[in-house]
Amino acid sequence: MNEQGRAKYTKEELVAHVKVPAVVEKDLKRMISDRLEQCGLYFRVFSRIKTATSMARKFELKEYGEERKLQDLVGVRINLYFDDDMDICKDIMERTFDAVGWSTSQRNEDEFKPTKLNGVFRLPGYLKDEISSDTWDMCIDDTFEIQIKTMFFEGWHEIEHDMRYKGEELWSLFPGFSRYLNSILATLELCDKSMVTLFEDLGHALYKAGRWSDMIKSHFRLKLGDAPMYPEVEQLLNEDMSRVENLAKRIYKTRKSFLVDQLLKRGRKIPINVNTIVALLNDSQFHDSRLTAIFRERDVYNDGREESLAESRHYELRPLTRHTVFQMCTQVDGSRLKVEQPVTADLIFERSADYIYRWIVRKYGILFKDMPQETSTYHADVLAYHVTVNFDRENRRMNMHVRHMDLEVGGRIWYSEASLEADRQDKVILKICNGYAEPEKDNHYTQEGAGIFFSYPGYYKSIVDNVGIFNGIDCLNRRRILREEQVSQLVKAIRDPERRFPVVVIASKETPDGMMDEEWLCQFRVSDFTRTVWRYAHVFTCYEAVGRKLLEQSGHDGAGEDAVPQMYIFWPDGDVDSYGPEAVRNCSFGRHLEVRDAHTYDIVRGGQAFYHKIVTDLRDWNVSADMWEGFKLEIMTEIPK
């Protein structure tokens, strides 16, 4: 930073500090394409990550600083085929991302420039985290830019930008040529407007001629499938023409933006054809019982659905790579056993082993008819299904490995492994590794992260809920307030090298009436959060004084003036993360919602976003931690004793 607060960085400085992985650009482009494809617009999407050379030049030419930061680190360009789709596309982007602001072409009546919209949006939180943290110290904003233009202007704009905009002084010496170029631009603008007018006029002519399918295609100008209109629908539209406000007229009078809105509201992507369009309009505004009966009988939203990528792709044989989706190493302490006899290591071991075995019987018993109902050693294979259990009651040891193929995703195998053993100190230790194995993806397909499949097996849930576990401290499924006399116990748990549960502590100030002031958490919902994560993380809330005492006794160096209100996560590896009110309010979180044969995307913000972020962080830590790798049984058929 120099020249009275103006930022200037060299290319070398930017190369060293600004690192943007390709996944950021790729994910943004895919999210945008998914949304536009969902509503059938004609479009092309291009993207780029700004180079260090380009950034250095921009810092040299423009005055960037703390008040004004570079906002187009990542840029996406959307080219549309129809001029009236620009406002529709603008609305879609605002519904997909957190918009900072828009700018548009400024023209006077004697000047012609490309019709374009420039939007600046916040990067989704999970993508911002992919970018090097040093980036944000370089007067670069955590935003990306979307440009929306029509194809006519895109065809010449890059040439005009490089050869006139960057050399305005030269063109001023030859005004005749500049005027000539302006006349070309005027023609292109007229072409943009004329294309829309042409198809609108054609749609009206087709309405008059009773050609309903062609009318729908021309009027809405969406990328439609080839499915012909159902004969029953065509007949109904013909018969309805005797009415003044007939169904065909109501379809023609429907705005394109309204139809796109209905497509975006669908929970999953549907085939877009003349039948689904009429069905959507009927569901949303016509409510004609005759159409409803026809479309219900036809199952219109599934009729014509194309097979998904997973269904159509042919897999070649490749080595399988394992991906963990849940793991745990913990003591089973019997604290939740409801029995009259004394709780011993033998009892804890046997009850836990029974829960594991019963889960196997429920899941795989239908395939292996000879599987004993009582907990015992057992081994069987049939095609892609495998069960191995070694049960040694006398030595209080049990190992198991099960696996089966994924019925929807070719080449994917799911597995679960567990080890249960009582040691010489009568501690019963449970180790679990849940996950899947599949071939490595080639460059044309995105490898899905194991964290999105985070899932603990049913037997772990049964053991935690009904037998009870101890992981540095007792596990509890409801909100608990940390009292002053419990601080030393929690500090001991935080320092326990065998602890595998992250410890989440939410320290809040006290209200005038003596209650805990949690307004700074917005919609975080501590109780719901606890019930979500309690089987793999401890959650405590506390008042300011107790929170400061915990920080001091645990050796945390952040117990200063801003220590409360804060959320602290004490990770098992010794790291500590802290989040204050600003972190909660400014949080944005992108959620990928898996649907039948497509991805949808959702942005949540504030306390709700923070809730999802922390849950995701806890799960990501679990699947990536070094707890227990399991038995590594990709090809083995028996567990070694």
pLDDT score for 317: 61
Q: What is the pLDDT of residues 502-515, one digit of tens each?
A: 999 999 999 999 89
Q: CB of 40 within 8 A of CB of 274? A: no
Phi, psi of 280 (to 5 degrees): -65, -45
Q: Where in 333-441 does DSSP place strands (E)?
A: 378-382, 385-392, 397-405, 413-422, 428-439
Tens-place pLDDT, residues 228-276: 999 999 999 999 999 999 999 999 999 999 999 999 888 678 899 999 9
Q: What is the model's pLDDT at position 412?
A: 87
Q: What share of the chain in percent tops pLDDT 90?
A: 64
Nearest partner of 290 among 213, 238, 255, 219, judged by Cα: 238
| pLDDT at site 265 | 87
In this prediction, residue 419 carries a pLDDT of 95
pLDDT at residue 175, rounded to an integer: 72
519 and 511 Cβ atoms separated by less than 8 Å: no
Mean pLDDT of 401-419: 88
Helices assigned H by DSSP within 439-495? 458-466, 487-495
pLDDT digits (tens, 9 = 90+) for 358-402: 999 999 988 888 999 999 999 998 888 899 999 999 999 999 999
Question: Which one is predicted more confidently, 567 or 321?
Answer: 567
pLDDT of 105 above 80:
no
Q: What own/partner pairs with CB < 8 Å and gap ≥ 24 does 595-598 have? A: 595/267, 595/268, 595/269, 596/268, 596/269, 596/308, 597/268, 597/269, 597/305, 597/306, 597/307, 597/308, 597/309, 597/311, 598/34, 598/38, 598/268, 598/269
Average pLDDT over residues 180-198: 81
Q: What is the structure's pLDDT at 104?
A: 81
Lowest-pLDDT range of 350-354, 384-388, 448-452: 448-452
pLDDT value for 636: 43
pLDDT for 268 equals 72
Query: Cα(163)–Cα(168) distance, rounded to whole angstroms?
Result: 8
Question: At 111, is the pLDDT very low, low, confident or very high (cuts 50, 70, 90)?
Answer: low
Angle at which helix 256-265 crosses helix 274-281, to 10 degrees, equals 90
Question: Given pLDDT bands bounded at 50, 70 and 90, which one contains residue 439?
Answer: confident
242-254 residue pLDDT tens: 999 999 999 999 9
- Residue 430's CB: how many other CB atoms inside 10 A? 25
24-27 contacts, C-beta under 8 A, 24 or more apart: 24/49, 24/74, 24/123, 24/127, 24/130, 24/131, 25/49, 25/74, 26/446, 27/127
Over pLDDT 70: what percentage of the chain?
86
What are 557-595's pLDDT values in tens digits?
666 778 999 999 999 999 999 999 999 999 987 655 544
pLDDT at 451: 55
172, two tokens = 């001023």
Residue 156 has pLDDT above 60, yes or no: yes
pLDDT over 90 (residue 449): no
Q: How sure is the predictor about 47, in pLDDT bands with cuts at 50, 70 and 90?
A: very high
Residue 245 structure tokens: 């406000």
Mean pLDDT of 295-318: 66
In angstroms, the CA 95 to CA 74 distance is: 19
pLDDT at residue 27 tops 70: yes
Q: In this predicted structure, what is the pLDDT of residue 314?
A: 46
| Cis? peptide before 124, omega within 30° of 0 | no
Highest mean pLDDT: which of 1-15, 103-117, 503-517? 503-517
pLDDT tens-place string over residues 589-628: 765 554 444 455 567 789 988 998 999 999 999 999 988 8
Residue 641 is predicted with a pLDDT of: 41
Q: What is the pLDDT of residues 194-203, one digit of tens each?
A: 899 999 999 9
The mean pLDDT value for 27-43 works out to: 92
Q: How many helices (H) and strands (E) does the chain have?
A: 22, 19
Predicted confidence at residue 112, as pLDDT, reads 53
pLDDT digits (tens, 9 = 90+) for 162-180: 666 555 556 667 777 777 7
Tokens of 156: 């010449």
532 versus 186: the higher-pLDDT residue is 532
Q: Are 530 and 599 spatial neighbours (Cβ–Cβ below 8 Å)?
A: no
Return the pLDDT at 66: 86
At residue 591, the pLDDT reads 58
Mean pLDDT, residues 346-354: 97
Average pLDDT of the segment spanning 45-63: 92
Least confident window among 115-119, 181-185, 192-196, 485-489: 181-185
Q: What is the pLDDT of residue 185?
A: 73
Quick one: pLDDT at residue 596? 41
Work out the number of other CB atoms within 10 angstroms of the CB of residue 137: 11
Token pair, residue 28, equals 């943004």
Residue 544 has pLDDT above 90, yes or no: yes
Whether the pLDDT of residue 338 is over 80: the answer is yes
**Mean pLDDT taken over the chain:** 87
Average pLDDT for 335-351: 95
For residue 102, what are the contacts with CB-CB under 8 A and spacing of at least 6?
A: 90, 117, 118, 119, 120
